[in-house]
Amino acid sequence: MAISDSQAIRFRGRSYFALTLTPEAPLGAWLTRLDACLARSPGFFGPSPVILDLQGLELAKADALNLVGALAQRGLRILGLDGAKAEWPGDDLPPHIASGREARGAESQMRAAPNRAEPMRKPASQLIIEEPVRSGQCVTHALGDVIVIGSVGSGAEIVAAGSIHVYGALRGRAMAGAYGDESARIFCRKLEAELIAINGLYQTADEIETRMRLQPAQIRLVGGAMRITSFE
């Protein structure tokens, strides 16, 4: 029997951005460090879904349940578990999610509200935004650098596999090297960021040196530590 267009169900592949949280043993000490992070930056995770990476941890299912519960008490929404054991099936834990570390080919996308900045892609390894990124907008590019011809507003977010270039003020959150690129950098004409991160290492606004605030800045990793310098 033929199926009409009105009866058909459409399925499409789509990529979404989620933060990955990697606990370390002992879990009690790790949760204490997480509490300190949340105290410094209460909005760090915001409404973003979180993948819990348990690879390398020797946990029983009861330990995983306790950990997920402890994170829920801190307001973290766990979308799935990466590294969950095969013998942990059931509805009492988030679903198992295969590792996303190799997802470099994911489609670049912009989620915006209420106004949407339209990107111009040229070439494929760069995402060029030709207008300001306003509060509430989230730009994610898994193929390379993001270049903003304007400013990034407070409450906005840029996530890039490569480097981030902002030709105006950077007031929101910028996460470069989001897929493991330690050589990625962040450049901006005026540093007012709420959060900056490269390859998972981050600083919040209150951790950025006062002398670098409101200055043209370059952010990079040197010897595993974040370094912020002026380029003028």
What 8-state DSSP symbol labels residue 35?
H
pLDDT at position 113 over 70: no
Instruction: Identify the CA nearest to 226 among candidates 117, 214, 143, 212.
Output: 212
CATH of 109-229, one of 2.60.40.10, 3.40.50.10420, 1.20.210.10, 2.160.20.70: 2.160.20.70
- Residue 87 has φ and ψ, to the nearest 5°, of -85, 15
Beta strands in the chain (DSSP E): 19-21, 50-53, 78-82, 109-111, 119-120, 126-129, 138-141, 145-148, 157-160, 164-170, 173-176, 186-191, 195-198, 201-204, 217-222, 225-229
Residue 172, both tokens: 């929101």
Is the pLDDT at 106 greater than 50, yes or no?
no
Among all chains, which residue has been given the structure tokens 């540093």? 191
Q: Give the model's confidence band at 114: pLDDT under 50 very low, under 70 low, under 90 confident, else very high.
A: very low
Domain ranges of the chain: 19-82, 109-229
pLDDT tens profile 184-221: 999 999 999 988 999 888 888 888 888 888 899 999 99
What would the pLDDT profile of 11-66 be if each residue is shown by its tens digit? 665 566 667 788 988 999 999 988 887 776 666 666 667 888 888 888 888 999 99
121 pLDDT more than 80? no
